[in-house]
Structure 1
């Protein structure tokens, strides 16, 4: 039975679900950008999210939605909405692989923001991860060589928005439940997408409904699967699998959209992956040391 399997094996299964969810979301987003604005796609996504999260809340109890930090939720969701906007906007103009590769700069901005806003130390492995991340980004964008598309900058800004939302999420998890954070995410982002959508509204067609459903459902399933994977296994197991999104989405782009595989993009992503892996391994080596120090400091 699956429950008797090694946790790393189960984590790999959950990450497989996350990878397929992310790929399905990217393809459905690409299909919808041909007919609908980015704001409308985000509005559709939020509507489905409200329904799904509302069903979970109805089952688990509404009391967990109480929060004393509505302002922090608002800041988080403005940043997260900006991240989503940049991601979906990029799907309409640049290759799927480039969108995913630029998105992988999020850990770089997260480390810098954690240093600036939370006072977290920039250790040597973290500095190395940031340096390799920036080097990988420059290799992907190649500024000054005539290959930089404005949509790439939108995705880059989106990655920064995601990083800021992650910092806020870390702060919110000290007081609020994950379901509470997800509930306010879908509820607050609903009007963010609805208001601009009404200015250029286009009613969804029957042909578009399956893609709309896929965008909404996979947005939730991808992050749920990743959360389950991180609960079962170390980051050194989960993160390398997450980076498999890039070659897989490059293959999807090649097969379905005739997108050429850009080796600069793959090489840049490899640099980012190396930096993240170095940082994760350093953090894991420090964890037993922290536990040992804590054990010595605790009264017998």
Structure 2
């Protein structure tokens, strides 16, 4: 099997790795959604962080602490807050909506990354970026419309969009940090920050958690690490512009998991709105446009060799 895969072109292998990463990423959502509704969202975040840190500490016993040395402790703190803030909002949204609906809203993250790069890093705001952003907002509105009560936005929708914003911001931090930080430190320190912040918050309203709840929380951490690893493999063997479209397989995978585990389907208009958002993101990639998905994927795993160093953060 390995020999067969190696005979494939780099771009084909990259697409396969990215597709597998999206399937793994959906299992993160499944695990989070399976945790009992009696367990507060903050507690789920804390449990996930504790179990993930435990695994990292075991690894450090064998490889030593050199890979986690850092020159930018404050940047790690900021990124850890944003990363786990994003997870909090996404996990909260998963309690209100189907996995497919939440992932459809999260597609806007790529466009938000481009806008934040313009505001924070001073990148040029081109006509292409403006058109893509406006088109993406139209897609979000199409998805929101069936759930809106007048001008009110449901909490689940708002949480998903806040989650996308937080992840966009941490992506920019990650791009800058990859110049000096190792891959391992980029993955390790956000977990430590999460334990320091979210465990005290969770203790305020801590509820007894079953073994299954702990197992699902640990599973969310495991599949998140697997997703990061496979994204890294994808962008190492293939062009980001080639593997980026494979990220949208998250939507059909989400629909499948909703049916298998929760016997539910998103409203059809979600697919229309998600299609508009995907079209907006692909507009950015067209003929050398900005590649937000490349940034998202490479920076999520904290890799400084996974992709070229474009001007974008």
TM-score, normalised by the number of residues in structure 2: 0.84
Written as runs of structure 1 = structure 2, the 5 A alignment for 1:74-223 is 74-142=77-145, 143=148, 148-223=153-228
State the SS of the aligned residue for 1:93.
coil
Q: Which has the larger displacement, 54-63 or 44-53?
A: 54-63
User: Does residue 21 of structure 1 match 2:24?
Assistant: yes
Q: 1:59 to 1:7 in 2, by over 3 A?
A: farther
Aligned equivalent of 2:33 = 30
C-alpha distance in 2 between matches for 1:123 and 1:88: 34
1:11 to 14, 19, 24: 14
Partner of 1:49: 52
State the match for 1:298 in structure 2: none
Work out the CA distance in 1 between the residues paired with 2:169 and 2:290.
27
Is 2:273 the partner of 1:279? no
Give yes or no for the alignment of 1:268 onto 2:273. Answer: yes
- Rate the CA distance shift 1:234–1:284 in 2: closer, same or farther, 3 A: farther
CA root-mean-square deviation: 2.1
Residue by residue, what CA displacement relative to the aligned partner does 1:69-94 show, whole Å, maximum 9, x if unpaired?
A: 11111111111121111000001111
Which structure 2 segments of 5+ residues have no match?
292-313
Query: For residues 152 and 70 of structure 2, what CA distance do their matches in structure 1 show?
Result: 46
> How far apart, CA to CA, are the structure 2 residues paired with 1:158 and 1:88?
9
Structure-2 separation of matches of 1:37 and 1:23: 21
Task: Determine the C-alpha separation between the residues in 1 that align with 2:89 and 2:213.
Answer: 21
State the distance in 2 between where 1:59 and 1:7 align.
Answer: 32
Q: How far is 1:115 from its partner? A: 0.3
Q: Which has the larger radius of gyration?
A: 1
1:64 aligned onto 2:84? no
Partner of residue 251, structure 1: 256
Aligned partners of 1:43 and 1:193 also within 8 Å: yes
Q: Output one character per residue of 1:79-114: Cα deviation in whole Å (capped at 9) or x when no partner.
A: 112111100000111121111111111112111110
The DSSP-based 3-state class of the residue aligned with 2:35 is helix
Deviates more, 1:211-220 or 1:46-55: 46-55
